[in-house]
Amino acid sequence: MQALPDQAIHSEAPLQLLLFVDDRPKSRQQVQRIKLYLDELQAEYKFELQVVDVGQQPYLAEHFKLVATPALIKIHPEPRQVLAGSNIINQLKTWWSRWQIAVETYVQLQAELQNDLQFGFHDDRNSSIHIQANIQNQTQTYIQNTSIQSVAASAELLQLSDEIFLLKQEKEKLQEQLQFKDRIIGMLAHDLRNPLTATSIAIETLQSNYNVQKGEFERLTPKLAAHLFKQARTQAKIIDHMITDLLQVARGTASEFCVQPQKIELAQLSQEILEELRDRIAAKSLAIEQDIPQDLPLVYADPERIRQVIINLLDNAIKYTPEGGIISVSGLHRTTQKVQFSIGDNGAGIPEENRDRIFENRYRLERDENKDGYGIGLCLCQRIIRAHYGQIWVETSPMNGAWFHFTLPVYPK
Mean pLDDT throughout 152-168? 70
118 compared with 16, residue with greater pLDDT: 16
Superfamily covering domain 2-157: Glutaredoxin (3.40.30.10)
41 compared with 182, residue with greater pLDDT: 41
If pLDDT is split at 50, 70 and 90, which confidence band does 62 have?
confident
Give strand pairing partners of 210: 217
Is the pLDDT at 109 greater than 90, yes or no? Answer: no
What is the domain partition of the chain in residue ranges? 2-157, 160-251, 257-409
Question: What whole-number percentage of the chain has pLDDT above 70?
Answer: 76
Is the pLDDT at 374 greater than 90, yes or no? Answer: no
Is the pLDDT at 290 greater than 80, yes or no? Answer: yes
Is the pLDDT at 167 greater than 60, yes or no? Answer: yes
Is the pLDDT at 67 greater than 70, yes or no? Answer: yes
Mean pLDDT throughout 381-391? 90
Q: Which of 136-145, 255-264, 337-346 has the highest mean pLDDT?
A: 337-346
Task: Average the pLDDT over each of 47-51, 68-72, 118-122 and give the range with the smallest value.
Answer: 118-122
The predicted pLDDT at position 330 comes to 95
| Mean pLDDT score of the chain | 79
If pLDDT is split at 50, 70 and 90, which confidence band does 255 have?
very low
The predicted pLDDT at position 227 comes to 85
**The domain over range 160-251 is classified in CATH as 1.25.40.10:** no
Going from the C-alpha of 50 to that of each of 8, 28, 53, 284, 286, the distances in angstroms are 10, 17, 10, 80, 80
73 compared with 10, residue with greater pLDDT: 73
How many degrees, rounded to 5, is the angle at CA 141 between CA 137 and CA 146? 155
Task: Average the pLDDT over each of 21-30, 123-132, 280-289 and give the range with the smallest value.
Answer: 123-132
CA distance 388 to 249: 16
Q: Which of 318, 102, 362 is nearest to 329 (CA)?
A: 318
Q: Model-level pTM? A: 0.48
Mean pLDDT throughout 380-393? 90
Superfamily covering domain 257-409: Histidine kinase-like ATPase, C-terminal domain (3.30.565.10)
CA distance 413 to 410: 9
Is the pLDDT at 127 greater than 70, yes or no? Answer: no
The predicted pLDDT at position 239 comes to 81
CA distance 264 to 21: 62
Question: What whole-number percentage of the chain has pLDDT above 90?
Answer: 27
CA distance 104 to 379: 70
The predicted pLDDT at position 352 comes to 81
If pLDDT is split at 50, 70 and 90, which confidence band does 281 have?
very high
Mean pLDDT throughout 31-43? 91
Is the pLDDT at 94 greater than 80, yes or no? Answer: yes
The 10s digit of each residue's pLDDT in 309-364 is 998 899 889 988 999 999 999 999 988 899 999 999 998 888 887 787 777 765 55
The predicted pLDDT at position 184 comes to 63
Mean pLDDT throughout 6-27? 73
Is the pLDDT at 388 greater than 90, yes or no? Answer: yes
Contacts of 386 (CB under 8 A, 6+ apart): 254, 392
Dihedral over Cα of 99, 100, 105, 107: its sign = positive
Q: Do domains 160-251 and 257-409 have the same CATH topology?
A: no
Q: How far is CA 45 from the centre of its chain?
A: 54
Is the pLDDT at 3 greater than 70, yes or no? Answer: no
